[in-house]
Structure formats: structure tokens, C-alpha cells
Amino acid sequence: MTDAFHPTTDNPLLATTGLPPFDRIEPAHVEPAVTAILSEAERWIASLEARLQEGETPTFENTIEELDDIGRPFERGWGPVSHLFSVKNSPALRKAYEAALPRIVDVGLRVKQSEVLYRAVKSLREGPEWEALPEARKRIVEQKLLSAELAGIGLSGERRTRFNEIAQELSKLSTDFSNRVLDATRAFSLVVTDPADSEGLPPSLRQLASQSYNEGRGKVRGIPADAPESTPDAGPWRFTLETPSFVPFMEHCRNRALRERMLRAYVTRASRGPHDNSEIIRRILQLRLERAKLLGYAHHADVSLAEKMAPSVAAVEEMFETLRTAAWASAERDMCELTEFAAQAGFTDELLHWDVGFWAERLREQRFEFTDEQLRPYFPLERVLHGLFGVAERVFGISVEPADGEAPVWHPDVRFFKVFDAESGVQLASFYLDPYSRPENKRGGAWMNDCLVRRRSDEGLQLPVAHLVCNSTPPVGKNPSLMTFREVETLFHEFGHGLQHMLTTVDDADAAGINGIEWDAVELPSQFMENWCYHRPTLLGMTAHYETGEPLPGELFEKIKAARTFRAGTGLLRQLQLGMTDIELHTTFDPHGDETPFDVQQRIWAKTSLLPMLSENRFLCGFTHIFAGGYSAGYYSYKWAEVLSADAFAAFEEAGLDDEAAIRETGRRFRDTVLSAGGGRHPMDVFKDFRSREPDPAALLRQFGLLDS
């Protein structure tokens, strides 16, 4: 490309080849690099638009590929900045990042909203070249058109104006919604002063509640500024409706009346007074429906599904019903068992909403009590990695080799690995692993991100490079990093995403790896990989006590495995309740009619819970996923992807998990379909390529012990 930047520049963010020079990137590089990239991109976009307007016939090469070329300096210049923002934050970097972000967003919008580009892509769709385009390119074109159309580009005149007004109002309403949830959550607190009421509370909760009390002095009603300081042991303690406080409180507080107060406050959150979200909910539903109709859809759920794998609302509802029917009997057994258990422990009243969590936790303790501390010594990071890479080699025929020192890194703990095809020895990809928690400058959680995407261009083939970021326990003193079981599972999960990014065989960046994959399908390989942590020989094979070398005792493994299915039917019903309510509100519910959203909530509740709903329950008022997040008419995706991943793993179980040849053969097929197709083929077709049929929810039900095998 003649417009390429001058390669001799000193700014590491303007490098055009090789791996990002992470060791040289400084916050001071951000502003000049972004300015250079943006002005170049703007010039480039304008010249592309001008050529198209002057009558150049649109082709895949002169529109989509050209846009991809325009985006490449962002991959190398902005990608590392946003990565470092998450893993090596500093006040200077944050300042540079926040100043640049709106400019980056603007240029993205500029492309997305360009009518000239939209018309060019559209004429490509309708032109003579279309039939001859490979499947992946067809998908890229169609996705670009659809995303522009859902953003209103096909509308004109008053309809366009109205569409934009709706977008503005919805954006404000969703902010208001989440602010009210936050404010309502903050407005409530329960102060406990009697040490008798704190009996049985775990130390971490006492600590949190004591700290919360001290922070609340003079700021929270009922805690005067001159109140004596609280200590974790003696109190007073302040409990709130935030998850880290609310959940353990409900599980451990022995005072039933206090649990009742907490629960009633929780289920009425943001439903009264100044924080009441009821009207916002109705308004959001009205606007979403109106927008759907402007776009030519029957309702908002059809808009949401247009970009997803699930073929129709009916298909989603069918999945709901299959899972619900299977979960119901199991949830009934959970309830009977819990009632008996509580009775034996001397509790003879009826079990109510505020009792279930408490007694379930007692039952869990009695049955499979194990602590993170018991498991950790068996999971040193090195051993776990060895086990993980062993699975990758056995199942997918790839070998992972350490290549530390061959790539500049942002922290001495960061590792670098190369991935090869085990048979041919050809390199396929590479990845960074940033394993440990670093609270001082690294965001929490775990994620996989692309560093470089697979792309074939005039300059040859660019191999994919992934970022695997975890927040595992760092080494302490002379001890190696000892992981909790949850951390091990998380590593497998992110590695699964990484495999899909790295083993792609698609050469067009927009459809390579995880790019362009419908997001109700994107958790397939990640959740699939977690299953190996519950396969006895695999898991035991990657454990070795860091002092004695002993593998994890079999009985501990059995407890881990049993804990996975504990009260699974009850848990599944709760997830279905949220998903089904979401779908009904965005399909058949009429937001202008006499029924309220809470009538829908009530109706679905009756089908998904063994206890009758408390009449004041307004959980919708705090359902930020669908009213303030990206999950509207999409909450079902969690289960949809789980159905896929469980069914994919079932293919390995059917082949025989202990039959090495069968595992290799099935793994090869998984690699050649799910892991290689990327966004270049519809995920339903990809799934069928692998499984020779459509997904079957039975595998998920079996995995959670909800169906006899």
C-alpha cells in the first residue's frame, strides 16, 4: 500500500511489522501516534469515498479489503494501547487513553455511517461478482450491511430522524436505569450490632461488613460520624445489597428475621420512590418496539436475533421448554431434600425465600466441603500449563512451545509461546500469557483478546497472536504460583477462546478467528475446554503437590465433580426465568397495553420456581443485563452457548474419552470445523459440520445430572 507510514519513525506504535514492542511503548507515544493514524485514516477514507462516488465499480478488494487496510494501523497502534490500559495501567496512560478514545470511536462511526460506503457494499451484494465470492467473504459483506442497517442507515427523512431520537432516548434511559439501580443499592444497608447475630458469618464477610461500617460513618443514615470504630470480630457490621455482601449474608446469617429483611429489600430494589425504575422499563420496551418496526421487524427480539446464531424466537423458546421440563423434576427433588435436611437440623417451619440459600449452603458444606486452600498445593501453574498443553496436543494435534525472550513483554511475569502443527511442524500462531493478579495496575477478571489477527495481504500471511490474561494467585515467597480450581478452569476457558483465534484458517481478517462469530456461539470453544477439568485422568494428570509431587487425591476430585451438579436443576430454573422473561417482554408483550411487565415476570415465575413469588418482588427493576447492558432479548445466549459446548464435548464422550485414537480423530474434526472456520461460516453450519446434526440440549442436561444417561 503506497500510503503506508514511514517505517523509520521512532514511535513504537507506528511500527508496521513484527510483534508490538511492548517494552518500549510509553504513554507519551499515544497522542502523536493516534493523531498520525487518524489523519491518515481520514484522508484514506475520504479518497476511497471519492473514488466510489466518481463511479469506480465496487469490488470486494476495493471496498472491504481497502477498509481492512485502513484499519490495520489501528491494530498495531491502538490495540497495544488498549491492551496496556488493561494490564499496565498508570495515571499517565489513563489520561492518554481517555483523551484518544473518543477520537477513535468517532472514526469508527464515520465509517459505519458512511452512506457512500454502505451503497458500495450493497451494490457488491447485488452485483455480478456476488455469486462467485467465497462463503467467508459473503458473510463479511452481509454482516457489514446488516450492522449498518440495524444502525438505521437504510432509513431516510422523518423515519431517520425518529430513529435517531429513539437511539438518543434509549441511551439516556439505560444510563438512568443503571444509575437508579446503583443508587437504590447504595440507599439500603442493614447494620448489625449484636454479636450474636454475626455468629457463623465467614471472616471475609465480617471484614467487608466492618470496613463498610467504618466507611459509612457520617455518610450513611443510622451511622453517626462519631460512632466508635468497628472491628471485624466485635462489629458493628454493615451489610449491603451488593453481591459480595448480599450473597454470603443470605448463605450464612443465622438470624432468620434479618435474612427476611435483606431479601425483601433485594427483590424490591429500584422499584419505589425516587429510584423507581418501573416507568423506565415500560418506556424502554415501547421505544425498542417502535425502533424494531421502523427497521421492518415484528419486535425487538427479531432485531436481536438477526445478528445471532439462534434461527428464531421459536427455536429459543423450544430450548427453554426442553431445559425447563427436565429441570423441574430435579428442582422438586432439590426442594424435598433441602426440607428434610433442614428438618433434621431442627428447622420445622416452611422453607421460604430467605431460607433456601441458607440451608442449601449448610447442605453443601456437609456434603462436599473443600476449600481452595486444600486444593491449591496440587495446582502449581507450571504443572497445570503442562497438562493444558498436553490436552491441546492429544486432542487437536498442536504443540505449544515456550518462546520466552523472543517477544518484548510488558511485565517480567508475562510468558510467550508459539503454537505449531504437531504433524508438519509449521508454525500456526503465538500467544502471550499474563497469568498473575497485579491489582496495582491490572484489571481484574480473565479474558482472551486478539493482538494480531490472521490476514493474507500483499505483504504475505500474518499469523494470529493472542493475549491470554488471567488473574491467578502469584507466587508467594519461595512457593510457585498455586492455583485454585476455579483459576484452573478459567485458564482452560480463555485458552479455548485463544484456540479459536489462533487455529483459524480464514485469511480475511473480518472473519478470521473470533471475528464475525455470532455472540451466542462465541462461548462454544471456551466452555468446551472447561469440560476437560472434570475428566478424571486429565485433571489428575495435571496435578502434582508442589512439595510431595503427589497427584490430587481421587476423593477430592469426586467432591469437585459432585459440587458441579449440586442443585443444578434449581440453578437452571433461575437462569431460565431470567431468559424467558427477557424474551417474552421483547416479543408478545404489548408495552402500550394494560398488562405490566411485572405481570409477565409473575407469569414466568410460576413456571420456573417452586416457591410462589413474593407479591412485592420487582426483580425486573434491577435487571441491568437487559435494560442497561447488551443482553436485551439475548439473555438466552448463556444457555444457548452452553448447549453447544456440552453437546460438542459429548461427541468426545461418545467416541470414548479413554480411547486415544478416537479422541484424536474427533479432536481433529473439532479443529477442522469449530476452531478453523472462524466467522467465515454460519455457526449452525459449522456445528453441523462437526456433529453431523443440529445441537441437542440433552448433553447439557446429562452434564448437570438432569437426565439419566
Q: Does 645 bind Zn ion (CB under 5 A)?
A: no
By beta-carbon proximity to Zn ion, the closer residue of 284 and 491 is 491
Q: Candidates 13-21, 359-367, 509-517, 518-526 — which segment interacts with Zn ion by CB under 5 A?
A: 518-526
Question: Of these residues, 75, 251, 494, 584, which one is catalytic?
Answer: 494
What residues have CB less than 8 Å from 702, skipping those under 6 apart?
A: 646, 650, 709
- In whole angstroms, how close is the CB of 518 to Zn ion at the nearest point? 14
Distance spanning both ends of the chain, measured CA to CA: 58
68 in Cβ contact with 515 (< 8 Å): no
Q: Are 5 and 14 in contact (CB under 8 A)?
A: yes
- Give the C-alpha separation, 452 to 429, whole Å: 10
Does 330 engage in binding with Zn ion (CB under 5 A)?
no
Q: Which is nearer to Zn ion, 526 or 601 (CB)?
A: 526
Specify the long-range contacts of residues 667-672, CB closer than 8 Å, at least 24 apart: 667/394, 667/395, 667/396, 667/397, 668/396, 668/397, 670/395, 670/396, 671/396, 671/397, 671/398, 671/503
Q: Are 587 and 299 in contact (CB under 8 A)?
A: yes
Q: Which is nearer to Zn ion, 174 or 504 (CB)?
A: 504
Closest distance between Zn ion and the C-beta of residue 497, in Å? 6
Q: What is the DSSP letter of 130?
A: G
Question: Could you tell me the smallest distance in angstroms from the CB atom of residue 527 to Zn ion?
Answer: 7
Instruction: Indicate the residue whose CB is closest to Zn ion.
Output: 526
Query: Please, is 120 exposed, middle or buried when counting C-beta atoms within 10 Å of its C-beta (0-12, 13-18, 19+)?
Result: buried
- Whichever of 240 and 527 has its CB closer to Zn ion, that residue is 527
Segment lying near Zn ion (by CB under 5 A), choices 212-220, 429-437, 520-528, 629-637: 520-528
57-60: long-range contacts, CB 8 A cutoff, minimum separation 24: 57/127, 58/120, 58/121, 58/123, 58/124, 58/127, 59/124, 59/129, 60/124, 60/129, 60/133, 60/137, 60/141
Identify which range of 36-44, 167-175, 461-469, 519-527 contacts Zn ion by CB under 5 A. Answer: 519-527
Residue 491 or 626 with smaller CB distance to Zn ion: 491
User: Do residues 690 and 651 lie in contact, with contact meaning Cβ atoms separated by under 8 Å?
Assistant: yes
- Asked if 653 is an active-site residue, the reply is no
Q: Is 63 in the site for Zn ion (CB under 5 A)?
A: no
- Of 490 and 617, CB closest to Zn ion: 490
For residues 151 and 295, is the Cβ–Cβ distance under 8 A? no
Q: Given the DSSP bridges, would you call strands 398-402 and 455-457 parallel, antiparallel or unpaired? A: unpaired
Binding residues for Zn ion, rule CB under 5 A, total 1
Shortest distance, position 448 Cβ to Zn ion, whole Å: 7
Min dist. Cβ of residue 639 to Zn ion (A): 14
CA distance 313 to 493: 28
Q: For Zn ion, which stretch binds (CB under 5 A), given 55-63, 116-124, 403-411, 524-532?
A: 524-532
- Is 526 one of the binding residues for Zn ion (CB under 5 A)? yes
The CA distance from 394 to 388, in Å, is 10
Question: Does 632 participate in binding Zn ion (rule CB under 5 A)?
Answer: no
Give 30 or 503: the residue with its C-beta nearer to Zn ion.
Answer: 503
Specify the stretch interacting with Zn ion by CB under 5 A; choose among 8-16, 326-334, 508-516, 525-533.
Answer: 525-533
| Contacting residues for 359 by C-beta, under 8 A, at least 6 apart | 338, 341, 342, 345, 347, 351
Q: CA 354, CA 530: separation in Å to the nearest integer? A: 32
Contact 413, 388 (CB under 8 A): no
Phi then psi for 415, rounded to 5 degrees? -105, 160
Measured between alpha carbons, how far is 498 from 526 in angstroms, rounded to an integer?
8
Decide whether 198 or 526 has the Cβ nearer to Zn ion: 526
Cα Rg for the chain, rounded, in angstroms?
27
> In the complex, what is the shortest distance from the CB of residue 526 to Zn ion, in angstroms, rounded to a whole number?
4
Phi-psi group of 405: left, alpha or beta (phi > 0 → left; psi -120 to 50 → alpha; rest → beta): left
Q: In whole angstroms, what is the distance from residue 318 CA to residue 312 CA?
A: 10
Which residue number, 436 or 447, has a Cβ lying nearer to Zn ion? 447
Indicate which residues carry an active-site annotation. 494
Q: Which residues bind Zn ion (CB under 5 A)?
A: 526
